[in-house]
Amino acid sequence: MALVDFATEGAVGVITINNPPVNALSSAVNADLAKAIEAAEDSAVRAVVIKGDKHFAAGADINEFQSVFDGTDEGRLAGNLSQTISRMEVLAKPVIAAITGFALGGGLEVAMGADFRYMARDSKVGQPEIKLGIIPGAGGTQRLARLVGWSKAKDIVYSGRFVAADEALAIGLADKVLAPDDVVETAMEDAATYASGPTRAIAAAKAAMHRGWGVAATNGLAEELDEFQRLFQTDDAREGVAAFLEKREPDFSGT
């Protein structure tokens, strides 16, 4: 059985990490996660939910860290995971991370590669790598600071503490906090809503925002204008404008 499952429900792709008991992110899990993200690139998939079985993902498989000291290839785990997360981050469709249980270390790094994070009320997130004498290696120092600001990110990374759902919501690390039984259901409902919308426009907005981050404003504005102009060649743009003029609800096809 795959350590990461991929399935579809309508136009929503569902990625499920399934490596009990806590979904540790081993090299094998990362390989399966990369395959699932590749499957999610299919144009028939118009939104994605990523989740874990019980726990989202409670960090890397620490047993593999010994390979760094041994000088074997397994020591590239963090770099490989970083590449996988970056690939998910630029998927041309909305991605929602549905967090239950723990999302720690690499697990939080995976969740931060999504567009949105929905957390169960009793779940916890964090970057505890510092307690091992190391630091996050798959984007944790970078994405966390962008989401919550420099000072709060430094607090979380330097201390290695766990962050409860309510605090995560208050600092912008979580987008919704829900009852544990409602997290996946709400994520699926919201993903289905995105999937029925103008997904070409959503993809263009996502691309412009990502490519414009950290560059000069003039470059970001140029990226935005390019995406804006390209959208006028899509069926969805024609449908959206026609529906507005005809005073009816649009029927977007994602083309």
Q: Give the strand order in the sheet containing 124-126.
A: 57-58, 102-104, 124-126, 162-164
- The residues with which 12 forms a beta bridge, in sequence order, are 9, 47
Distance separating alpha carbons of residues 160 and 163, to the nearest angstrom: 9
| Maximum CA extent, the chain | 68
The two beta strands, 102-104 and 162-164, are: unpaired
CA distance 92 to 194: 12
By annotation, the residues acting in catalysis are: 109, 129
C-alpha 51/C-alpha 118 separation (Å) is 10
